[in-house]
Structure 1
Amino acid sequence: MSNYLDLFAGAGGLSEGFIRAGYKPIAHIEMDKAACFTLKTRLAYKWLCENSHEEVYVQYLNKSITRDEFYEMIPKKILESVLNYEISKDNLGDIFKRIDQMLDGKNVDLIIGGPPCQAYSLIGRARDKNSMVGDSRNYLYILYAEFLKKYRPKYFVFENVVGLLSAKDQDGESHFNKMCLLFKKCGYSVEYRRLNAKNYGILQNRERIIIIGKLGDYQDFYPTIPVTNNHYFVEEVFCDLPIIRAGGGSYGLLPTLHYSGRYLYEAKIKKYDLEPVTLHCARSHSKQDLEIYRIVVQLWNNERKRLSYVELPERLRSQKNMTSFLDRFKVVASDLTYSQTVVAHISKDGHYFIHPDINQNRSLTPREVARLQTFPDDYYFESISGKPSRTTAYKQIGNAVPVLLAEKIAIALLEVW
């Protein structure tokens, strides 16, 4: 069984896929404290399943026990494998020391993860007055390389946005080219592919760069990841979830409806019929937003057209920007084979992710967004305080790698290991 380190781990979407494929995590390193709690809770759940104590997890989700009480039932080494650190020059020594203690003389076979993508993303560059040039996050790959130098894994998997290919530094040089050159200096052959989640069984249009490095001098080693012919529609994500309106739903366990489909089982989102879910809780919306949502959904249902912001009645327009981001109100159409890309901005508002059912008239819940990212329904997204937070959940989910895509990358890598 190959072991791995997960750098910039987030809420664990990439890691979940590798665990499913049979890899064993040594440590997850993540700076966001809430995401670290999510990782701890997920690892705790997996340990409980391995030891036939799933009922403890249900007690926790039902709030019969607190998070502290829940964690007390889990071996310390499981929880302590999640390292809440910012990956920086100042922290590298402490991080390496903690990892070395966990390794206890063993080698690292694999490193996975990708630095925060805001500095490379096309949207981030469009919104920043300096186009993200000089942003320190542009150079986190240099710290990633420090892990490669120290642990010399046989492979690494580096995930990031497509905008990485065109991002340039203050001297006009390509970040991607400099990154690949650095990885080669560390002793790795480097190859990459542009992978779109919609081609691999995920009902979402999400294109990402997946770089794979192999220790030594190699060519044409990138594993073949079979494309999946999709016969499903986005409706599969919504059809068994309880009907709720704006402001409704529950943070805690909520029973689902009968599901006669196949997709949710094939994507490993759902384990059994009527399986309850958490975080199926909708935002409240202003009367103005609700009116706009109805217009957006009606336009799609009646004409299969997307709304441009300039087409709204003037009384419903509150934004001055009339030249860009005109699709800021958008329905997640249930009759298409994939949705728009899930992004972390959903933590600020849900206008770009309007539910297709006009009678529910709301934006998507965290659970619905998590399903678009193929997180299993038993995956719980934590906050810092331990009290459920819809905003925190949205942010973690929007920044994640789709679990099913991660699993397919992991399986393909095993086949050429």
Structure 2
Amino acid sequence: MTNSKRKSSSNGNIADPASASVPEKKIKGVKEEKEDLSNAAVVVEVPASNDRDSPVRISGRKTEKKEEKTKTIGSAEIAKGTEPPKEFIQAKRHFTEALVDGRVHFKLGDDGYVQAGEGEDSYICRVVEMFEGLDGESYFCAQWFYRAKDTVIQACSNLIDDKRVFLSEIKDDNPLDCLIEKLKIVRVPLDAEVGTKRSMLSNGNYYYDMSYLVPFSTFQNLPPDNEVDGNESDSTISSESDSNVAVAKVMKIKDDKRSVMRMLDLYSGCGAMSTGLCLGANIANVNLVTRWAVDLNTYACESLKLNHPETEVRNESAEDFLLLLKEWEKLCQSFSLVGGGDPMSVEKDETENEEDDGVDDNGVGLDEEIFEVEKVLSICYGDPKEIKKRGLYLKIRWKNYGPEEDTWEPIDGLGDCQDKIKQFVVEGFSSKILPLPGDVDVICGGPPCQGISGFNRFRNKESPLDDEKNKQLVVYMDIVEYLKPRFALMENVVDIVKFAKGFLGRYALGRLVSMNYQARVGLMTAGSYGLPQFRMRMFMWGARPSEKLPQYPLPTHNVVTRGVSPVEFDSNAVIHDDIKGAELEKELYIGDAISDLPPVSNDEERDKIPYGDTPKTEFQKFIRLKKKDMPGFVGIDSSDHLLYDHQPYKLNEDDYQRSCQIPKRKGACFRDLKGVRVRDDNRVEWDPDVERVYLPSGKPLVPDYAMSFVEGRSTKPFARLWWDEIVPTVVTRAEPHNQAILHPLQDRVLTIRENARLQGFPDYYKLLGPIKERYMQVGNAVAVPVARALGYSLAMSCKGTATEGAVFILPKKFPNL
């Protein structure tokens, strides 16, 4: 029977456990021998009074024709978030064991291979029921196991041990003669190394330590032993670290609701993602703090530090950060602050210096000028002196010299100041200037994958990870593997699960599962959480075995998702199954977000100005709250509550002249300028009856690039936004040449602050750097309301109050609780 099938692995979904045509096979002796109960190895009938399933089987459900059930085991799509359709075969009687093909003796709870298509690996299942149908044929109900290649991981299954399989919730009925051979699948603890798990196999064929669910590509803890069908008495290895046994660890935060949870924000940008996560978690009474942040952009780091003075912000590459963490652990070990390691190697240098004869290699006296270390200020890994010599460096304050003379010095050259180094390491260890493995509760971040960008004409579709522009995904996962946080949350563009059949998304998921993290993938639209923006992003949760895997918050606002979810991950969109029955707030438009902001000119230079007007919408009232009044804010409020960053990118004179001539109405763009004609096929052409107009500079009013953009079909060049519209996304470059970004009524592009509003940044969040840099910080950010909702979900998992399932409904009026 084929009521619930694995999806075909060829289309990126789940392989049907029996997708091939099954040839006719005679079931030897089942009918004939079941009358002879002296041959108990053939058939043992289950008394109806002891058979829980028998009443369901015999409840009068319609039986499909034999031909449809026994000849072909086909494939069927499983609707997102729903159980497979139940189509029971009526049962005449049940068995506890049976002889298949006269040679293989199966009992209830046995594991077995199931016949697959020609050239395919046999499928793997557990026999949870055997019965005779009213048609006289014998059937078994299978609960399926997945190999990694049968899951969404697919092409990245090489990351997973080939002895490891995953238990599914999918069960269906099949002809008994589809069973081929018995095998043994052993349940093992999730939080153990591969070698340990293999050693537990004994004479088993496979081991399993996780469940796999199709909706949201979920890998999660197994249910308790007594919730798994079949006889597990001889195939289960108990462990305190298995599944959800460590509930006490999850629940301990209930006893201390304000216990600090430390977060590391990788590829942090200006800090939008971590800001939202902290706000959401604190609303749920979990004290999440961004303790460390790393980004390569100097201005973004300055913005984050300004808004989060409690955060140790590092302006460096993620690769160098990981190398630094490893060296830092060695330093801590060398001074016996943590276990392992050897004494610090500079001790040898110190010994060598004691035997020095006071003359350098050139015969010059070394005491002519001696620089003495006063204090070690900082540490980094890389090449801060730009001398093409990478390594571990310390920033030194020299005695009798000021801060302007501070220098970076390789640690290998500081062998005579071990006391100063030890003081720095001890103090840094105490204040946690850098995290050690086990120090981090949450890692969040969005590793840039520029190699999958649609603007990249040279994308490597065959081997995406060979592209240097995609290497940060590997680095992100390497940092997670090294630090072993309780939770990880990775954000990325939807192309990560679209490009090259979703290879990079599969890789990321495979890495987490290979590290024994529970994981799931969701696609979330910013507008669905209270923004006038259609932007969709991928969010991947990871959680250690001892934790509850966080859920995805369902949309709170009635925004129709633009476009379609990637075919490869079509069950991952975070949406309501019953949109009509969901209680959603009205969608927000541009006017709801920015109509209260004071007018500014194209050449506005003030960095902060008074509001001037009162808020007109609930969104504006909320976004204008002071820090101390913002739900979830924890810390000191030193803001003066003026309006920051309300400056536009200054258009050059030609573009400004063009903008001034764009009508102030909905839909206006360059097509409304003199000399442009729109054909019936919606393409533009020059109007032959109108002489071409030129600007005072001598440049044409209508530039050629506007006429040829998207083969003349685009309406985006010099387009005005309008109050009742929703933007596709917030851009990083505020130029009107190929995107709609002109203010509805003012002759300028949207300001930094207006863009920040569309991303959900609170008005108190001030940005630093040149104007272009600030636009980039905003455009590259995670929408704050989405991060806030995810932070609330994280807190529910930390507190042990999360419900079952991959999604949940946020409290009404969230975040104004």
Q: TM-score range by the shorter chain?
A: 0.7 to 0.9
Structure 2 matches for 1:147-186, cutoff 5 A? 147-168=479-500, 174-186=503-515
Equivalent of residue 719 in structure 2, options 326, 330, 345: 330
CA, structure 1 residues 248+209, in 2 after alignment: closer, same or farther (shift >3 Å)? same
On the 8 A contact 1:309/1:322 being kept in 2, the answer is no
Shift of residue 2 of structure 1?
Answer: 2.2
Identity %: 22
1:372 aligns with 2:740: no
SS at match of 2:782: coil
What amino acid maps onto 2:618 in structure 1? R
1:393 aligns with 2:774: yes
What amino acid maps onto 1:390 in structure 2? I
Equivalent of residue 703 in structure 2, options 300, 313, 317: 317
Deviation track 1:188-242 (CA, whole Å, cap 9, x = no partner) reads 1221111000101112111000111122399985343443323432112222211
1:194 aligns with 2:508: no
The answer for the alignment partner of 1:52 in structure 2 is none
- Deviates most, 19-28 or 282-291: 282-291
SS at match of 1:192: strand
Moved over 6 A (4+): 217-220, 305-309
The answer for the alignment partner of 2:611 in structure 1 is 255
Shift of residue 162 of structure 1?
Answer: 0.5
1:354 aligns with 2:741: yes
Cα separation, 2, equivalents of 1:398 and 1:162:
16
Structure 2 matches for 1:8-407, cutoff 5 A? 8-21=267-280, 22=282, 23-44=288-309, 78=310, 81-88=312-319, 90-95=320-325, 97=328, 101-102=432-433, 103=435, 107-122=439-454, 124-125=455-456, 128-130=457-459, 134-168=466-500, 174-216=503-545, 222-228=551-557, 229-248=585-604, 250-266=606-622, 268-271=623-626, 275-286=641-652, 288-290=654-656, 292-293=658-659, 297-298=663-664, 300=666, 310=684, 315=700, 316-319=702-705, 321-323=708-710, 326=714, 327-336=716-725, 338-346=726-734, 352-358=739-745, 360-383=746-769, 389-407=770-788
1:7 aligns with 2:266: yes
Cα separation, 2, equivalents of 1:373 and 1:142:
28
What amino acid maps onto 1:84 in structure 2? N
Shift of residue 38 of structure 1?
Answer: 0.6
- Deviates most, 289-298 or 362-371: 289-298
SS at match of 1:416: helix
On the 8 A contact 2:649/2:749 being kept in 1, the answer is yes
CA, structure 1 residues 151+312, in 2 after alignment: closer, same or farther (shift >3 Å)? farther
Cα separation, 1, equivalents of 2:605 and 2:596:
14
User: Which structure's residues are more often strand, by fraction?
Assistant: 2
Deviation track 1:282-304 (CA, whole Å, cap 9, x = no partner) reads 2333454345435655562579x
TM-score between the two structures when normalised by the length of structure 1: 0.77
Deviation track 1:323-362 (CA, whole Å, cap 9, x = no partner) reads 36933443322112x222012233x66762433433x211
CA, structure 1 residues 246+138, in 2 after alignment: closer, same or farther (shift >3 Å)? same
SS at match of 1:345: coil
What stretches of structure 2 of length at least 5 have no aligned partner? 1-259, 283-287, 329-378, 380-427, 558-584, 630-639, 673-677, 693-699, 799-817
- Deviates most, 276-285 or 152-161: 276-285
Cα separation, 1, equivalents of 2:525 and 2:502:
26
On the 8 A contact 1:225/1:409 being kept in 2, the answer is no
Cα separation, 1, equivalents of 2:685 and 2:538:
35
Shift of residue 321 of structure 1?
Answer: 4.5
On the 8 A contact 1:197/1:204 being kept in 2, the answer is yes
TM-score between the two structures when normalised by the length of structure 2: 0.41
The answer for the alignment partner of 1:57 in structure 2 is none
On the 8 A contact 1:269/1:374 being kept in 2, the answer is no
Cα separation, 1, equivalents of 2:685 and 2:493:
31
SS at match of 1:181: helix
Cα separation, 2, equivalents of 1:410 and 1:147:
21
On the 8 A contact 1:156/1:214 being kept in 2, the answer is yes
- Structure of greater Rg: 2
On the 8 A contact 1:188/1:217 being kept in 2, the answer is no
CA, structure 1 residues 110+173, in 2 after alignment: closer, same or farther (shift >3 Å)? closer
Shift of residue 264 of structure 1?
Answer: 1.8
SS at match of 1:140: helix
CA, structure 1 residues 309+402, in 2 after alignment: closer, same or farther (shift >3 Å)? farther
CA, structure 1 residues 225+24, in 2 after alignment: closer, same or farther (shift >3 Å)? farther
What amino acid maps onto 1:279 in structure 2? D
1:411 aligns with 2:797: no
What amino acid maps onto 1:8 in structure 2? Y
SS at match of 1:227: coil
Deviation track 1:216-271 (CA, whole Å, cap 9, x = no partner) reads 399985343443323432112222211123223522334342223211234x3444
SS at match of 1:10: coil
CA, structure 1 residues 245+112, in 2 after alignment: closer, same or farther (shift >3 Å)? same
The root-mean-square deviation of aligned C-alpha atoms, in Å, is 3.3
Cα separation, 2, equivalents of 1:164 and 1:185:
19
Asked which structure has the greater RCO (Cα within 8 Å, sep 6+), the reply is: 1
